[in-house]
Structure 1
């Protein structure tokens, strides 16, 4: 669940847990991420861990499991090296992990985190109700080993290590469980915590009133841009909590709090997702918060802030009580450039929405409520109020008039190319209008060339009668630019006037159009000319060509592509406005 995005998942899960455990609501919860190195031999019971990894490697080699071989080879290299990198994660102004002295009580936070699998002690508005998030730390350990340490609010101390490997045959010839604990063995041969804090990081020591939890991720990969990824994850997920002084996060030497937010988001803006900076602008704007009730009648628990401005991404951040963003709500309005923040306050509203969260805490799903009809109406109520308030804002500021964008078409931006300025293609000059005539076969298909000697199958009209812009015709989906449906035949002529030879003219007899079920082109960064294109085809095609055009009032222009990437297809190429070597998959 967490290996695809280990750093992002770690930041999200850790800050969620600490935010849920915030002790003094008048102060921010503080979370610290710090890397350091120690001698590998200084790790508690290191020889036992080395023995487990060696035995695991031997056992899984006999099982012919390449994936296990790769893991154990990397783990063995780390555990046998002189130094080991550790990531310390510490929170402050929390309750700590109580219940370490009751290891058999699964309702206690210590047991739920350290000793149980798929169990959680949280309830109410706390988000970690699945007992899964703790594994994000293990996804960032190259030896799948983590040490926990705590000073809880009653003054009790405890620490314990946990390795999650794979079963192997131990020195007694028995097959082991996947988990191995480092602690105190009792008379029943089960493991209990050590009732003291562990001090792997010599530079860190908790004061007697500094309650909280420390997590040590052993074998942390500190290469690459992990710091940038982690800072971006904090900004993406906890921007509201930071801005409202509910949370302070330190990533090595980077401090993220309300006082440093402006500088941090400016420096790490490119590492964040496309929505975060827009949300930041909303929080910094003077626009008023709008308060309303939820569907169940809980008073004044929904707080909405909206902003309308060119280039905004048309999403609303849905944030729950602890300040964590759950999702980016879209499909609010496809015609207005806007962005928004919806903060859900109130115990009852948060408790209900928490019950709808998926395990990744990134969506609210009606399927998670036994009364799905009620859940659907609850979410619809929220969306409807956002739409209504957005329309009020538009009517207030713009008189109800908005500029519609042409869906699925690149938005043309006035630019100068060298000393040559693009001119309006509409002129007052009168030019000759040429007509085309086609003889029809008995089956209704054209067979004679037009007056200019051009094959009608290669011209501006598709086989089904639709223009290359895809804005008319009844023969089926058109292949070309635009959002409508055209002919189901070949791609029409798309080159701009004066652009030279049509690069596709010589290919059209051997190439054929691919029927598209859906086509969506979205401007992700208008000012820098960045777009995202999604296609869904009815068939597979291993060597496809995609032409990109800019639709203007009476012509289609060919832009020059600066960079193109397709996920999972590193061998594509592009030139001018054409992308080649694209592999399409059915559906």
Structure 2
């Protein structure tokens, strides 16, 4: 056996910035757990027996790697290629590879699956389009016959290279049809020899340039039944540590439903997780800053105790989807969470989404049958969202002529279906909390309206909604009908040499022509005073946090660079609010100056993209709804 180089004068140089690997940058370990186990649950041997995946990590002698001398030669050839002398990415990859090869042992992470069919087709050769070729020697190719399969675009398998300093992966698969065969990849960069250039990916093959019969490494594990082994060789120390600390969290984030339904059993670094010990495993998870454990626990409760809803009958005539193909599990007796987990038939998480509701809840949406096929067809390469633009109905999966609406474009069908699914979830949430859906707005459409309910502090500690990576405690979002649109009031001020601001003019839009009596008198100014207009500025990202002491924090992401800014807070709510609820506002620990009862300002510079926090001390026991308006002080 040997590692291919395929030197040719017709090849072009390719560097180490592999887009298929970089696609998962920043979440390499999570993506590795997700993508490898996904490949295993996509090929179950039968529907009655759970797929078993074993994850192990260990050190092995560097000399046991197949053709280790040739591996070192490939790395040296890349390092000595003049073309890469000033390429930082290739230099970084070569340095990491050399550091790994200079050690006596190498860290390996092995994923092995059981009760699967294995990757078929090794005997047919790498020119045939088979599952074995798709796994070991093809890019952008997926060969999965099952419509319930999680993967479909052939990119995810490359995620595993991201945790290897060698970018090396070894494959072994045993099937009923072919027996046991192995192969491997090194994916670093091309190198030059004379006027010839190698391929970027070096494949481990036999003398016939095909897969190798049997095993290719002796590491105390030998496959004796059908299934697939994937060994990631040269695992980075930091990634190995992350796998130890958070691997179980990543596993349950992505495959909670698969394990709960008995489709999957995982033996993770010596610990077995199945449907019988699933809840205890969740309770034993480490706490983390992203509240992953709490969300996993809330989704489990939705599956175990939640009320079950199915799609309306109209989905059959409108989209060709049987109502039983979509099931929504909703648990409202929960102290944490306001998200819905979306999964398909395999049970793997696609994404979760926050829906605004009048109380805490946890939900799980499951797509099966035809809905599963349709949604799989519109998944992106990372299998983390559904996009209407990706839907391809050329195979006539859905017969548009049989539907109430004769869709002429695939993306219009997909867009309408996704919107109806969203509305279905919203309608169920509104029913559960007895809310009129016409008065609701989505959490990601909040704009600058937030409402703080009066509540006792113990409840306040537990009632949490997550939005935009911030925790918002006991925030109730409401729509308010305002006589004056937010930001329409015009404010002019003068600023003297000491930074003191004085109102110059304040007026509201009138329904009738104004007279001289309506206009506030303009204060006398000096020649050193500067006149500013306080003009409203749109804010797209903002949050409100309530605190145990009754105060609250208003946080916004600065939409632009500003040298002087103010915040206007207008009380809103049912009836007329006569009491100004804000005692003081503080920015960076310093009390902001008061222009009017509800307008506060500072002359500090703020930079675009920076999170600005305004701390508000409120009148005791004053339930308050506040409309926040950011204003910039501009000359003239």
**Structure 1 residue ranges without an equivalent (≥5):** 417-442, 466-472, 476-507, 562-573
| Equivalent residue runs for 1:220-259 within 5 Å | 220-223=235-238, 224-259=241-276
In the alignment, is the contact (CA less than 8 A) between 2:45 and 2:115 conserved in 1?
yes
Q: Give the corresponding residue for 1:266.
A: 283
Between Structure 1 and Structure 2, how many residues are aligned? 491
Report whether the alignment pairs 1:215 with 2:239. Answer: no
Q: Give the corresponding residue for 1:152.
A: 175
1:237 to partner: Cα distance: 1.3
1:581 to partner: Cα distance: 8.6
Q: Aligned in 2, Cα 1:3/1:447: closer, same or farther, shift over 3 Å?
A: closer
1:216 to partner: Cα distance: 0.7
Q: Give the corresponding residue for 1:486.
A: none
Report whether the alignment pairs 1:2 with 2:29. Answer: no
1:37 to partner: Cα distance: 0.9
Cα separation, 2, equivalents of 1:360 and 1:62? 30
Q: TM-score, normalised by structure 2?
A: 0.67
Tell me the alpha carbon deviations over residues 495-515 of structure 1, each in whole angstroms, 9 at most, x when there is no partner.
xxxxxxxxxxxxx999x9993
1:251 to partner: Cα distance: 2.1
In the alignment, is the contact (CA less than 8 A) between 1:410 and 1:549 conserved in 2?
no
Q: Give the corresponding residue for 2:49.
A: 27
Cα separation, 1, equivalents of 2:501 and 2:552? 33
Report whether the alignment pairs 1:390 with 2:429. Answer: yes
1:284 to partner: Cα distance: 2.8
1:85 to partner: Cα distance: 0.5
Cα separation, 2, equivalents of 1:54 and 1:81? 16
Q: Aligned in 2, Cα 1:155/1:260: closer, same or farther, shift over 3 Å?
A: farther
Which of 302, 318, 332 is residue 342 of structure 2 equivalent to? 318
Q: Aligned in 2, Cα 1:289/1:297: closer, same or farther, shift over 3 Å?
A: closer
In the alignment, is the contact (CA less than 8 A) between 2:326 and 2:368 conserved in 1?
yes
SS of the residue corresponding to residue 46 of structure 2 reads coil
Tell me the alpha carbon deviations over residues 12-55 of structure 1, each in whole angstroms, 9 at most, x when there is no partner.
11121111111221122111211111110111100101011111
Cα separation, 2, equivalents of 1:150 and 1:524? 55
Q: Aligned in 2, Cα 1:445/1:585: closer, same or farther, shift over 3 Å?
A: closer
Moved more, 176-185 or 60-69: 60-69
**Structure 2 residue ranges without an equivalent (≥5):** 1-22, 392-408, 459-489, 511-529, 593-601, 612-636
In the alignment, is the contact (CA less than 8 A) between 1:292 and 1:302 conserved in 2?
no
Report whether the alignment pairs 1:376 with 2:415. Answer: yes
Report whether the alignment pairs 1:99 with 2:121. Answer: yes
Q: Give the corresponding residue for 2:75.
A: 53
Tell me the alpha carbon deviations over residues 160-180 of structure 1, each in whole angstroms, 9 at most, x when there is no partner.
12111111114x652101011
Which of 111, 123, 140 is residue 118 of structure 1 equivalent to? 140
1:198 to partner: Cα distance: 3.5
1:226 to partner: Cα distance: 2.2
Tell me the alpha carbon deviations over residues 245-264 of structure 1, each in whole angstroms, 9 at most, x when there is no partner.
11112221332221222222
SS of the residue corresponding to residue 300 of structure 1 reads helix
Report whether the alignment pairs 1:65 with 2:87. Answer: yes
Q: Aligned in 2, Cα 1:229/1:524: closer, same or farther, shift over 3 Å?
A: farther
In the alignment, is the contact (CA less than 8 A) between 1:278 and 1:339 conserved in 2?
yes
1:77 to partner: Cα distance: 0.7
Q: Give the corresponding residue for 1:280.
A: 300
Q: CA RMSD for the aligned pairs?
A: 4.3
Q: Aligned in 2, Cα 1:270/1:522: closer, same or farther, shift over 3 Å?
A: farther
Tell me the alpha carbon deviations over residues 180-233 of structure 1, each in whole angstroms, 9 at most, x when there is no partner.
1122122xxxx211111334420x2333xx311001101112443322332111
Q: Give the corresponding residue for 2:582.
A: 556
Cα separation, 2, equivalents of 1:72 and 1:25? 45
Q: Give the corresponding residue for 1:164.
A: 187
1:457 to partner: Cα distance: 3.2
